[in-house]
Amino acid sequence: MVPPGPGTRPTSDRAREGLFSSLQSLTGRELGVEDAHVLDLYAGSGALGLEALSRGAATATLVEEDPSALRALRGNVDAVGLPGAVVVDDRVERFLARAAQPRYDVVLVDPPYDDDVVPALEALLPWLADAAVVAVERRTPRRGEPGLAWPEGYEALRDRRYGQVSLWYGSRS
């Protein structure tokens, strides 16, 4: 995998393995993403979406706007050569403002840690299939800081910490 460049941070191997293990138990699918339609928001290098394809996802839509990350993302999609990858060169907010189609079974959300993720999660609701699982990666909160507060329309399922990184899982309520 070609790294996305400055300003982005790849998900650690430990957190990525934890992510896909959790998706397996939460989705009830043998491989967690098998035959799923996956949406990877703030895709960076595309590592998460491409791993979903390698684990049997039917499609992975990878949304990224940063030019250096897009170059790495397109190079990685070409290098991996898995069918079903769609790269979208757009801001996540603008992408989610479109008419919601298709519906996604698994959504991976990994914005810059300082960004407020709630507006994107609110805009994401119409894009979700009925039994969809949304995984959000954020910096692990410091002592006394609150974790992710899911907006209205979501049910929190679980969260996991991997050192400096935490993953929160939710679904439509």
List, for residues 58-76, the tens digit of each pLDDT value: 999 999 999 999 999 999 9
Instruction: State how many domains the chain has.
Output: 1
Any idea what the CATH number is for the domain that residue 21 is in?
3.40.50.150
pLDDT digits (tens, 9 = 90+) for 111-144: 988 899 999 999 999 999 999 999 999 999 999 8
- CA 157 – CA 171 distance, rounded (Å): 7
Q: Are 96 and 120 in contact (CB under 8 A)?
A: yes
Taking alpha carbons only, the member of 29, 32, 30 closest to residue 18 is 32
- At residue 14 the predicted structure's pLDDT band, cuts being 50, 70 and 90, is confident
Residue 54 included in any domain: yes
Give dist(CA 58, CA 12) in Å, integer.
Answer: 24
The DSSP element (H or E) to which 143 belongs, if any, is none
Nearest to 107 by CA among 73, 71, 138, 133: 133
In a domain, 5, yes or no: no
In a domain, 6, yes or no: no
CB neighbourhood size of 162 (10 A): 18
What is the extent of the structural domain holding 47?
13-172
Length of the chain: 173
Q: Is 117 within a domain?
A: yes
Cα 43 to Cα 89: distance, rounded to the nearest angstrom: 10
Residues pairing with 62 in the sheet: 40, 87
Asked if residue 62 belongs to a domain, the reply is yes
Per the domain annotation, does 51 fall within a domain?
A: yes
3-state SS assignment for residue 116? coil
* Residue 88: strand, helix, or coil: strand
Average of per-residue pLDDT across 148-161: 96
Task: Give the residue from 90, 80, 10 showing the smallest Cα distance to 51.
Answer: 80
Query: Per the domain annotation, does 8 fall within a domain?
Result: no
Rounded to an integer, what distance in angstroms lies between the CA atom of residue 21 and that of residue 112?
23
- Please choose, from the candidates 111, 104, 121, the residue with its C-alpha nearest in 3D space to the C-alpha of residue 155: 121
Task: Give a yes or no: residue 36 inside a domain.
Answer: yes
> Can you give the pLDDT at residue 9?
60
